[in-house]
Structure 1
Amino acid sequence: MDPTGLDLPPLAAAFVFGLLGGAHCIGMCGGIMSALTFAVPPSMRSPARLSGLLLGYNLGRITSYMVAGALVAGLGTLVALTPQARLALQVLAAVMLILMALYIADWWKGLLRVEALGRRLWTHLEPLGRRLMPVVRVPQAVALGAVWGWLPCGLVYSMLAWSLAIAEPWRGAALMGAFGLGTLPALLATGLAARQLGALIRHPATRSIAALSIIGFALWQLWTLLPLSAGH
């Protein structure tokens, strides 16, 4: 099995990372989710309308993640032209998994330092997003989410590094889609004030168990890449 292939374990790991990285997502996008809720006049603030706006925003956001994943994975096809380059990308993918697990368990926050990479692009996109607010229609929410999907985020960049290692555009898009779906519960909980779900996601035991599972999967990936493992 190709350890950077897209069978269930990588998709599940991407989903779990998005799910348990939700606390960071709330800090980055939670204000926007709340703004979507309160921009609707009280007389029109029905559960169906609010849910439509929140889902529309997240549809746009996840679509941007998938586009970015496809682009980066396409770049990976150009990089991985030799067996040595492919091996290096596979090792990078496993290492990024370990770093992501350390983040979601709150054991190490170094991933957040890479957010500076996208700030220049964001200075051009943020004014566009601001012009879409206040949001009162679903198409507006989708467009706003598509813009906000490019907000500089260490978690997203970490997943994109994994997409680079996959080196197939459709697989990169699928991986980022799984990650984006994982972030949905925390952000929807913020928009709909579902505190119990947010508390479960942030619970230290939940995060530690998930982190250890992801680390175990990453170590298995590294083991399959070791030359000595071929003899077992």
Structure 2
Amino acid sequence: MMELLSALTLGLLGSFHCAGMCGPIALILPFPENSKWAKLYGGLIYHLGKILSYALLGIIFGSIGSGISLSGFQYNISFIMGILMIVFALIPMVFKNSTSLNIPFLNVLKVKLGNLLSVKKYNSVFLIGVLNGFLPCGLVYIALAGAISSASIYKGALFMTFFGLGTLPMLLAISIIGSSLSLTIRKKITRFIPLTIILIGALFILRGSRLGIPYLSPDADLKIEKHAEKPACCKHHNNK
């Protein structure tokens, strides 16, 4: 539950960063109609596509974490991912350069996005959301680190879904209202993003430290011992 709350918080605060990066796309989505209801419906469809892409990425990276966990390195992964989150938070260039990567696959995505933006249909809006979910973004990298750390396909998908839901209010408002927040306001709020990432990273480091703190930093050995203990009924049966 704590991890999902951190994913939602990362998405909420990160959406102010997204307003500058993805906001322009949200402003020019090809809605079939120009009414507020059409924009609301289209905006929800757009974000549904985007969140589905995030969930798929969560499944992929959660399965990677799950494979590592089966090798006995689950807590090491949580610890390492926490450190990486903090490093990313302390290196602003991760956010500035993440969308300028020259990768053929990404170039194809951008061309497809450009083509879809000229087609005023709801299915085009949905596909734009799907494709946009795969575009490089520093905040998505942070969220994917959390998905890996979950060491579970199911939890990885949930983590990325909650991250996507966190970004929804801000970008949906931009789609409906038709304008973005001022640069001054965005700058003031985005100052809290690195701090939030550091706190989430610290949470994962704490979990990977196995300090025996319930929910925050559980000790795997204690869990194993509890499962290994026989119930009282079984002990009574064996004594007969």
TM range (shorter): 0.7 to 0.9
**Alignment match, 1:226:** 209
* Residue pair 2:55, 2:161 contacting (<8 A) in 1 also: yes
Worse-superposed segment, 199-208 or 180-189: 199-208
The letter of the residue matching 2:139 is: L
Contact in 2 for aligned 1:201/1:207 (Cα 8 Å)? no
Whether the 8 Å CA contact 2:79–2:206 is kept in 1: the answer is: no
TM-score, normalised via structure 1 length = 0.76
Q: 1:88 aligns with which of 73, 76, 87?
A: 76
Written as runs of structure 1 = structure 2, the 5 A alignment for 1:33-182 is: 33-36=26-29, 39-40=30-31, 44-83=33-72, 85-99=73-87, 102=89, 108-112=91-95, 113=97, 119-182=103-166
Distance in 1 between the 2:150 and 2:108 partners? 29
1:18: which partner in 2?
A: 11
* SS, match of residue 134 in structure 2: coil
* Paired position in structure 2 for 1:4: none
Q: What letter matches 2:24 in structure 1?
A: G
Give the unaligned 5+ runs of structure 1: 1-6
Decide whether aligned partners of structure 1 residues 129 and 75 sit closer, same or farther in structure 2, where only a CA change above 3 A counts: same
Q: Letter of the 1:74 partner, please give it.
A: S
Instruction: Give the CA deviation at 1:97.
Output: 4.6
Secondary structure of 1:21's counterpart equals: helix
Alpha-carbon distance in structure 1 between the residues aligned to 2:98 and 2:180: 31
Question: Cα distance 1:27–1:170, how it changes in 2: closer, same or farther (>3 A)?
Answer: same
More helix by share: 1
Q: How many residues are treated as equivalent by the alignment?
A: 213
Q: Does 2:185 correspond to 1:192?
A: no
Shift of 1:51: 1.0
SS at match of 2:28: helix
Distance 2:12 2:63 in 1: 26
State how far apart, in whole Å, the 1-side matches of 2:165 and 2:48 are: 9
1:186 and 1:201 in contact (8 A); partners too: no
Name the structure 1 match of 2:238: none
Residue identity in the other structure for 1:81: L
Counterparts in 2 of 1:24 and 1:213: CA distance versus 1, 3 Å: closer
After superposition, give the CA deviation of every residue in 1:44-77 in whole Å (9 maximum; x if it has no partner).
Answer: 4111111111111111011101101101111222
Which protein shows a greater Rg? 2
| CA–CA separation in structure 2 for the residues paired with 1:63 and 1:46 | 26
Deviations 1:84-111 (A, max 9, x none): x2222111232345456x4xxxx75143
User: 2:31–2:121: 8 Å Cα contact kept in structure 1?
Assistant: no
Greater alpha carbon shift after TM alignment, 132-141 vs 56-65? 132-141
- In structure 2, relative to structure 1, the CA distance for the partners of 1:213 and 1:50 (3 Å cut) is closer
- Over the matched positions of the two proteins, sequence identity in percent amounts to 30
Contact 2:15/2:171 (<8 A) preserved: yes
Question: How many Å separate the matches in 1 of 2:157 and 2:20?
Answer: 24
